[in-house]
Amino acid sequence: MSLAFVAEVLGTVSGFGSSILFVPVASIFFDFKTVLAITAVFHVFSNLSKIALFRKGIDKEIVLKLGIPAVVFVILGAWLTNYIATDKMELFMNIALVILAIYLIIKFNKPIKRTNTNLYIGGVLSGFLAGLIGTGGAIRGITLAAFHLPMEVFIATSAIIDLGVDTSRAVIYVGSGYFEKEYLILIPFLIVISILGSYVGKLVLKKTSEIVFRYLVLGVIILSALFQIFTTIWG
């Protein structure tokens, strides 16, 4: 539970969901499908907390143009977990994330245009990968970071999109039997952790500049992707 709290705080401070940190840690203790289910349920409460704390920053255009494709394709990705192995796909995705994040650091002062095409592509990829391997938030984080969104806009908008994505995939995972009854006892703890972690994260962000925040987003993506690459290759 303490690791979940740390993941929630860092997930808030770095601008997107805790799954990018929670999934690698939880994978040490649970099998892959159980991790997917627990992460999705945890994220529902986590996102509700962030929406309440950062609601003034919600960008409705991004929510619609990135969020709707994400919710549609997360259902497809979650359904496919019943039929395909994801190890190699996860490895290639994490390598791509490292490359993209380094590129954005090199081009730090040159934002990518917030076009409809870029929003739709970011939504499709983040939703599909969230359903399939549980860490699509990193794709969305890369997309939003590339637009140089203000801190509160980034967090609130990402959270409301994530809420739709995680609610959709949680229904699929629970319906597929990934969330065993023995884990129901975790739900009250996950609710408390999501609220406290998001609140502590907001306190930290009050003392964080926009530039530092953008570096944090990209830095966390790189470190978590490298960790996933390491665990995938060396087990």
- Predicted TM-score (pTM) of the model is 0.78
pLDDT in tens, 164-185: 877 887 888 888 888 877 878 8
Q: How far is CA 174 from CA 41, 78, 179, 226, in A?
A: 9, 11, 5, 29
Q: How many domains does the chain have?
A: 1
Distance CA 162, CA 156 (A): 10
Domain that holds residue 199: 2-234
Distance CA 177, CA 175 (A): 5
Task: Name every residue whose Cβ is closer than 8 Å to that of residue 96 and which is 6 or more positions away in sequence.
Answer: none
Least confident of 23-27, 42-46, 50-54, 184-188: 23-27
The pLDDT assigned to 65 comes to 92
